[in-house]
Amino acid sequence: MQNPEVKHGTIKILFTPDEEIGRGTEKVDLVKLGADFGYTMDGESLGTLEDETFSADAMGLTIHGVSTHPGFAKGKLENALKIAGDILAALSKDSLSPETTEGIEGFIHPTQISGIQESVKLDFIIRDFTMVGLHEKEAYLQNIVNQILLNYPNSTVDFKVVEQYRNMKEVLVNYPQVVEFALEAIEQAGLKAEKRSIRGGTDGSRLSFMGLPCPNIFAGEHAFHSKLEWVSVQDMEKATQVIINLVQIWEQRS
């Protein structure tokens, strides 16, 4: 606004809370926003552009055991806490955990457990870069549970799957210029542009499927979701240069 020599089209700025699984975008009015394309400024390393995310679901398990007085429990008690423990123990023996996967490998990740011997709630997040892989992991988890229940014939487990977000590359592949212009803007800032996949989520996933193609540009964020999370001021400054370059490229090519 203070530099009229920077030629650009109309720019809309959108702030969203509760990023990662896209809840911050649920109330976005895209007609009111009035944008054709977008970019989230929420990436990691200097020079990176992310055009692909996991597809993500949440899976909740409610385990219904058989409760009885422990003094008279022989042949009757089926402890929901121990059933949950068996499920988690079975998962710890495979290679589908976040701590054993990388790159474009998906995972099954327990996030929360609560309950008593009669009933336990066990929450998971399921991640994969393809819908086939996502559904395979959900079926794999259900199969583990069903096998464990063979040892607890009077207990049951309810499954609930909730969609969280989908791989934004499925949308962005139809708008190559949105990604190409961003890579060019990064190069113009004197950086080596690197296009890569996110082992996580971004509001851009939900926005892309809502009709606003939206890859993710670096912002110097590091050690996400840890007690040591930090951000680089120098990288944020470079990200600002990228934005300025990007709006000019769109103006020039329009």
Distance of CA 10 to the CA centre of its chain: 30
- Show me where the domains of the chain are located: 23-53+167-253, 55-165
- pLDDT band per the 50, 70, 90 thresholds, residue 21: low
CB 234 within 8 A of CB 32: no
End-to-end CA distance of the chain: 20
pLDDT at 23: 75
pLDDT at 86: 97
- pLDDT band per the 50, 70, 90 thresholds, residue 19: low
Q: Which fold has domain 23-53+167-253?
A: Aminopeptidase (3.40.630)
Residues 6+ apart with CB under 8 A from 214: 37, 38, 39, 40, 168, 178, 203, 204, 207, 208
pLDDT at 84: 98
pLDDT digits (tens, 9 = 90+) for 105-140: 999 999 999 999 999 999 999 999 999 999 999 999
E-state strands within the chain:
40-43, 48-52, 55-64, 107-115, 119-128, 156-165, 194-197, 216-218, 221-222, 230-231
Whether the per-residue pLDDT at 14 is higher than 70: the answer is yes
Whether the per-residue pLDDT at 22 is higher than 70: the answer is no
Task: Identify the three-state secondary structure at position 229.
Answer: coil
Q: Which fold has domain 55-165?
A: Alpha-Beta Plaits (3.30.70)
pLDDT digits (tens, 9 = 90+) for 44-89: 999 999 999 999 999 999 999 999 999 999 999 999 999 999 999 9
Average pLDDT of the chain is 94
